Amino acid sequence: MNNIYITGFMGSGKSTIARILAKATGRTCIDMDNEIQRKLNMPIAKAFEIYGEQDFRVRETELLKHLATQDNLVVATGGGTPISETNRTLMKQSGTIILLDASPEAIAGRIGNKDGSRPNWISIDHATQLLLKRAQAYKDCNIIVKADDPPQDIINNILQKLCDPQPFWAEIDNQTIPVIPSFTPQITLAKSLDSRTKTQGKAYSAIVFVTDDNVAELHLKRYREALPYAASIVIKPGEDSKTLRQAETVFEQLLALGIGRDALIIAIGGGMVTDFAAFVAATYKRGIDFILVSTTLLGCVDAVVGGKTAVNLNHYKNQVGLFALPREIYLDLAALQTLPAEQISEGLVEAYKTGLACDETLENSILENLDRLMKNDVGKIADIAIKSAQAKAKVVKQDFRETGLRKILNLGHTYGHAMETWCQEKTSHGRCVGVGLIVAVNIAQQRKLITPQKATEIIETTRKILGNVPTDFPSAEQALQLMKADKKNTDGKISFILPKGNREFTIAQDIQLEELKNAINIL
């Protein structure tokens, strides 16, 4: 069983937190007080008055016994539920107990004057004494989270402790770069910069956030609170901003701010923002330090680890750029909660592609947890984001400049990029790669490079992740013309990564029009 039980004193926010946490983890939310009220058809205070507290506690334990036989629940318990050792045992055996540890002052502020709905509320002094009496029972739990903060901060702290994401190091081009997955990355980032100042004796002369309008609205506030002295440059979202012209505009803004070579750029956003801001940082005054913070699953999986920077040229993807390495990389796992389902599916397609290309454990994790992933369980999604970033880091370590092994990560990208250019980014990168993956598998099956069983598994899994395959895609003739400009080509020949199964691939440079037509027709 993997239920989550939220405990704590009355007014600690159990019902609110349980509701938000259930949504974030794709679980069903159960409020025990509400369930008992519904069965008795009366408020809790009235039940106490008519039947007494002892009868209520018996009903509470019976309900808990029933809930403990179920799975994937987030349960808001009653304030007195953990007093019973039997109840605590039931919760431990069927899941994780999380205590919301709120101060008496915060509790009093939330409850206000006694309105009769809480039978044990008399005054703050009485509540303090009752809280002390229950303290030992409350602390018999798995996780304790301070509950005086705003709800979303509490949720992020819970997820940080539940998932316990661990940092790792990407060894790229003889440099070691920390990759820090976190539900509270702004706090870790601020501490890291403070530590650098103390150990090196010199702070950055200035810090500039670079992000887009969408990310700024959702996430910039918490980064500004952590680093209130940082400036901000906000660009429009979308691939239309990933241009030399937009880079020139940002260069001018940096000059106007008086930003020198001893400053730091912090890019916060998805792959477009991190690619673009890294390009700006790597070229402004011949290069200044930068940190990348990825706020999308697709960015965590595909863009943020690898040392590539780029802008587009005439709607062709990533035609101008260079390799450059950040000081640190952050995977903002809290931001994954704000992504729509379509963006989650895009990131999962890239993660699945990475698993197929180079990491059996990652592939199996996606296949085994696909239902939970499709229900937007942020804990499972975060795990896939981390595993994907680790897998990519291993490949990049061996082939930073993409001269050999790293090319396997382009699985699905040849036709995918052609489709992306053809539709002028109206269909997202992740969905285009999903279509490109199906096309590559279809060609591989025509050439008998992959078994029909494996081909079917890959295509069916990709279709399930996408939900529905885009129907607006270029013909074989149109795609071949667009593929000629692909930066992955060698000797003027189009390079197609074709899977052979078991993480083995071939690079085909002799794709024929007819077999591409057949692969597209199967779509």
Whether the predicted pLDDT of 121 surpasses 60: no
Provide the percentage of residues in the chain whose pLDDT is more than 90. Answer: 76
Q: What burial letters (b/e) apply to 197-226, b meaning 16+ CB within 10 Å? A: eeeeeeebebbbbbbbebbbeebbebbbeb
Whether the predicted pLDDT of 125 surpasses 80: no
**Cα–Cα distance measured from residue 293 to residue 227, given in angstroms and rounded to the nearest whole number:** 14
Instruction: Grade residue 475 by pLDDT with cuts at 50, 70 and 90.
Output: very high
Least confident of 234-238, 461-465, 501-505: 501-505
Whether the predicted pLDDT of 434 surpasses 80: yes
Altogether, the residues listed in the chain come to a count of 523
Query: Token digits for 492?
Result: 């003027």
Contact yes or no for 282/309 (Cβ under 8 A): yes
> pLDDT digit string (tens) for 332-370?
999 999 999 999 999 999 999 999 999 999 999 999 999
Whether the predicted pLDDT of 167 surpasses 80: yes
Contact yes or no for 465/475 (Cβ under 8 A): no
Whether the predicted pLDDT of 421 surpasses 80: yes
Instruction: Grade residue 1 by pLDDT with cuts at 50, 70 and 90.
Output: low
267: number of Cβ within 10 Å: 29
Whether the predicted pLDDT of 118 surpasses 70: no
> pLDDT digit string (tens) for 366-405?
999 999 999 999 999 999 999 999 999 999 999 888 888 8
Q: What is the pLDDT of residue 196?
A: 86
246-254 mean pLDDT = 98
Contact yes or no for 450/473 (Cβ under 8 A): no
Element (H, E) at 74: strand 73-76
**Cα–Cα distance measured from residue 456 to residue 503, given in angstroms and rounded to the nearest whole number:** 16
Whether the predicted pLDDT of 314 surpasses 60: yes
**Cα–Cα distance measured from residue 465 to residue 381, given in angstroms and rounded to the nearest whole number:** 13
Instruction: Grade residue 139 by pLDDT with cuts at 50, 70 and 90.
Output: very high
Residue-range domains of the chain with CATH: 3-163 (3.40.50.300), 168-388 (3.40.50.1970), 411-522 (1.20.1090.10)
Q: What is the pLDDT of residue 486?
A: 75
**Cα–Cα distance measured from residue 213 to residue 233, given in angstroms and rounded to the nearest whole number:** 10
Contact yes or no for 298/430 (Cβ under 8 A): yes
Whether the predicted pLDDT of 109 surpasses 80: no
Q: What is the pLDDT of residue 231?
A: 97
Whether the predicted pLDDT of 458 surpasses 90: yes
Instruction: Grade residue 108 by pLDDT with cuts at 50, 70 and 90.
Output: confident
Please name the residue that has the structure tokens 């920077």.
309
pTM for the structure as a whole: 0.90
> pLDDT digit string (tens) for 2-49?
899 999 988 899 999 999 999 999 999 999 999 999 999 888 888 888
Whether the predicted pLDDT of 433 surpasses 60: yes
> pLDDT digit string (tens) for 316-334?
888 999 999 999 999 999 9
438-457 mean pLDDT = 95
Provide the percentage of residues in the chain whose pLDDT is more than 70. Answer: 97
